[in-house]
Amino acid sequence: MARLGAAILTLAILAARASSSCVPKPRFQWDEIKYLVAFGDSYTFVQGTAGYPKYSFIGSYLPGEFGFSPEKLLSNKIVQNFTGTANAGPNWVEVLTGCGTEPGETSPLACDVQLWDFAFAGADVSEEFLPLHHDYTVPLVNQTQQYLTWAEPVVGRRMDKSKALVAIWIGINDINDSSDFTGALLPKFYNTLINAVFKQSVKPMYEAGYKNFLFINLPPLDRTAANVRKERPLPNKTMIGWWNKALERHRRAFQARNRAAETLVYDANSFLNGVLDDPEPYGIKNTTSFCPSYAEPEVLVNPAKYGCQPLDEYFWYNSGHMGTQAHKAIAADLVEFLKRRSAGQ
């Protein structure tokens, strides 16, 4: 009887091992990613030597500046200086990839994880729904068009796309630009905007062979340094919640229709609310204001001259943008999120 019990136990162990060995490895593997292709607005933009000053990595919406030659793209470099991002230092995509974090100029081609960033500061989803901030502003749906038309034949076709991650962080300008719209109409409007993101940007990228997609939801814009002073902040928490829920719904729907895709939504809102509630572990001491002289380059080395704390101690760089310390915090948490998803968690 003892032998029978031992035999049954052995069979059970072998069956468990066989079962576990049959569990498929998640298709998305962060440690294997070699390319990050980014789209969005000022939270994501990086300055390029061939970009519109203080707005883009390459080109603009002006006549003759939307397209570019292969030579111009391949010689273009990320610029890391005071105006190289919207927060006076490396932003989340640069920290995440380690590409372009050092002062000076860096070619994406020289990075272990190449950063091809087509985000444009001030971008909304589409001029179909909201007016351009400037005549040179490239909306999101046109950023992906620009990439697929002129960059895909040059750098995209050389990629092993199983090792490429497409990152999209958009909506910050859209929700601000529409915050005075009638409240009852906003959920439907947000749904329309995000539908355009997936139809006009995500789907074409997917059809071009990109399968890994990272979406980032809206940060706590209700708690910006400008909004905390208002009795009725706009956008408010409810509006941000409407946007973020619509983003997740569309992600799920896209995933269901396109089984080969791996779609991830990183909850920046929850993480950053946590940082604002308990900033000390992240080296942040001020979450409710910003240095009024943030635009003065000397403030980086001599903040006391302007009556400010060191910029790294502020969560907010100005009235609407996060500082570099917040970008570093989100990049570190995002790495952990991507590792968990790589492990199937």
What angle, 0 to 180 degrees and rounded to 10, lies between the N-to-C axes of helices 324-342 and 268-277?
130
Secondary structure of residue 99 in the 3-state scheme:
coil
Domain that holds residue 42: 33-342
pLDDT, tens digit (0-9, with 9 covering 90-100), for 287-305? 999 999 999 999 999 999 9
Domain count, the chain: 1
Cα 120 from Cα 85, distance rounded (Å): 11
Instruction: For residue 149, give the CATH number of its domain.
Output: 3.40.50.1110
pLDDT at 13: 46
2 within domain boundaries:
no
Q: Please, what is the average pLDDT of the chain?
A: 94
83 within domain boundaries:
yes
278 within domain boundaries:
yes
Q: Residues 95-99: what's their mean pLDDT?
A: 98
pLDDT at 26: 66
Lowest mean pLDDT among 1-15, 136-150, 314-328: 1-15
- Say whether pLDDT at 163 is over 80: yes
pLDDT, tens digit (0-9, with 9 covering 90-100), for 238-273? 999 999 999 999 999 999 999 999 999 999 999 999
88 within domain boundaries:
yes
13 within domain boundaries:
no
Contacts for 182 with CB less than 8 Å, ≥ 6 apart = none
Cβ atoms of 190 and 141 within 8 Å: the answer is no
What's the whole-model pTM score? 0.92
Q: Residues 111-136: what's their mean pLDDT?
A: 98
23 within domain boundaries:
no
- Say whether pLDDT at 4 is over 50: no
15 within domain boundaries:
no
Question: Which tokens is 214 given?
Answer: 């990272």
Percent above pLDDT 90 for the chain: 90
Cβ atoms of 264 and 256 within 8 Å: the answer is no
202 within domain boundaries:
yes
Q: How confident is the model at residue 55 (pLDDT cuts 50, 70, 90)?
A: very high
Residue type (1 letter), 136: Y
